[in-house]
Chains A and B, each alone.
Chain A
Amino acid sequence: GAGVSQTPSNKVTEKGKYVELRCDPISGHTALYWYRQSLGQGPEFLIYFQGTGAADDSGLPNDRFFAVRPEGSVSTLKIQRTERGDSAVYLCASSLDGRANEQFFGPGTRLTVL
């Protein structure tokens, strides 16, 4: 079956603009995670959804970052008033039903803020 997919694969925007990044998890996976990977670093946890609700958003860096998963499947990561420091690869992962299960990662969206 299909793996985790993310769109767009690349996004270039200007400082101050608003962006949305989309994640389609593996069908049937109730847990969904967002990570951010800066150049030369490992992925950094942002937020975890169990179903429709954000079970843990402690990794979101500030209130410019927000994520939703209204129907418990597709998730959108939203970044307001983008800054150059937001440039990174944003990774999405899903797992069958939460923390005890393997996380499957998508290919990522490379965000560049000019």
Chain B
Amino acid sequence: GNSVTQMEGPVTLSEEAFLTINCTYTATGYPSLFWYVQYPGEGLQLLLKATKADDKGSNKGFEATYRKETTSFHLEKGSVQVSDSAVYFCALRGPLYSGGGADGLTFGKGTHLIIQP
């Protein structure tokens, strides 16, 4: 079945530091890949996505590239801010042609990011 593995947190960085949160996946075919973010006291929000190999998703200064050869979708940001403190979830959805169990998203366990001023 599908699975997502992401680095465990918490990850603590100083403001303006470079961020990488690793994410690797196991899936058949070509899934769609997502990063969701959950800010304190708020619901899950889509941060970015990529639907095919070598696609780069980007939003709010964050980027992630869909790497089929390494089955990875690492999240990066060049200069983090205190307001980026949140829990980040990597997720996948099976290809549109796949069968049962593929309609929902499969999430990693989440990475708690703490940015200190």
Count of A residues near B, CB < 8 Å? Answer: 28
Asked if B43 contacts A45 (CB within 8 A), the reply is no
For chain A, what secondary structure do more than half of its interface residues adopt (helix, strand, loop), or is it mixed? loop
Asked if A105 contacts B110 (CB within 8 A), the reply is no
Residues of A within 8 A of B49 (CB): 102
Residues of A within 8 A of B104 (CB): 33, 35, 45-46, 48, 56, 59
B79 an interface residue at 8 Å Cβ cutoff?
no
For chain B, what secondary structure do more than half of its interface residues adopt (helix, strand, loop), or is it mixed? loop
| Number of chain B interface residues as a range | 20 to 34
Say which residue of A35, A42, A43, A99 sits within 8 Å of B93 (CB atoms).
A99
Question: Residue of A at shortest CB range from B51?
Answer: A100
A103 an interface residue at 8 Å Cβ cutoff?
yes
State how many angstroms separate the Cβ of B101 from the closest Cβ of chain A.
4
Using CB atoms and an 8 Å cutoff, list the residues of chain B in contact with chain A: 4, 36, 42-46, 49, 89, 91, 93, 96, 100-110
5 contacting pairs across A/B (C-beta < 8 A): A35-B104, A43-B105, A59-B104, A102-B49, A105-B36
